[in-house]
Amino acid sequence: MAPDETSRPRTASNVAEYFGRLAGTYGDGAYYGNRRKAVIEAIAPEIADAREMLDVGCGNGAYLTKFVEAAGIRTVTGVDLTFEMLISARGRAGAKCRLIRADVARLPFKDAAFDFVFASHVLQFVADVERVVAEFVRCLRAGGVLIATGQRDDSVRQMLSVIAGPERWREYREVIFRRAARREADARPKDRYQQAFAKAGLRVEERAAPFTVTWADIDEWIRIRWMPLVPADERERAESMIGELAKMGVAQVLTQHEPLIIGRRAG
């Protein structure tokens, strides 16, 4: 089996090992910063209405730092499986939020405990999306909202594959992006999140959060997101590949769209 098909964590047991290495830096840099800013702007109305906020798969707290600052929010809770991520989140978000180590498939909360559940780039790592979405909805009170991102996080890689051409791209993928999901190998339906939201009884809406990136931002993103996962003996090769990519004319400013899926529970 190709490494891409096996190496991305889809089970809870290897999530911590995978994300533990990214805990200090995940979400840093202009690419993530611009994306996050766009998402926060796009969901500003829902943030303004939120009182009890739950961030599932909160990672190292990049969004938590924004939620604790929001005027109307009374409590902010972050859940993650990776201990190192939670340590880092504590450092970033401070004492203003509650942080809990748990699997998003089994949340340690009473029914209807929150009015806003936020899931940024976590559903792509769970084995059973329908079950996890149902668990989010269990924690959501009537009139509450669930917002998920992350359905198409490979847009930059797709763009790089076009620029590099199939042959070079195979090599880049093997060395730099070997632990990324392979879209072609993903047999699950494209709109699987929407389907899971609808099945859980939510009224579903889609929204896009547009943001721009430059090659410098993408270069930085590769170093932050992918280099820590490249084995030490492959780093030199990866560096020279990043150098090659830079020469291939990724000079323009690119507009990306972070897709948001918004589900409302009947009030």
Ligand X SMILES: C[S@@+](CC[C@H](N)C(=O)[O-])C[C@H]1O[C@@H](n2cnc3c(N)ncnc32)[C@H](O)[C@@H]1O
Which positions lie near ligand X, rule CB under 6 A? 12, 15, 19, 26-27, 57-59, 62-63, 80-82, 85, 103-105, 120-122, 125-126
Considering the complex, state which of residue 77 and residue 164 has its C-beta at the smaller distance from ligand X. 77
CB 107 to ligand X: min, Å: 9
Considering the complex, state which of residue 103 and residue 234 has its C-beta at the smaller distance from ligand X. 103
Considering the complex, state which of residue 121 and residue 179 has its C-beta at the smaller distance from ligand X. 121
CB 39 to ligand X: min, Å: 9
57 backbone φψ class: left, alpha, beta (φ>0; ψ -120 to 50): left
Q: Where are the alpha helices (DSSP H) in the chain?
A: 3-7, 12-20, 29-42, 44-49, 64-67, 83-93, 129-138, 155-164, 166-175, 192-199, 215-221, 235-247
Contacts 24+ apart (CB under 8 A), 171-174: 171/241, 172/241, 172/245, 173/4, 174/3
CB 245 to ligand X: min, Å: 22
How far is it, in rounded angstroms, from Cα 132 to Cα 127? Answer: 9
Phi, psi of 145, rounded to the nearest 5 degrees: -130, 140
CB 142 to ligand X: min, Å: 25
How far is it, in rounded angstroms, from Cα 135 to Cα 106? Answer: 7
Considering the complex, state which of residue 12 and residue 204 has its C-beta at the smaller distance from ligand X. 12
CB 257 to ligand X: min, Å: 16
Considering the complex, state which of residue 13 and residue 252 has its C-beta at the smaller distance from ligand X. 13
Residue closest to ligand X, measured at CB: 59
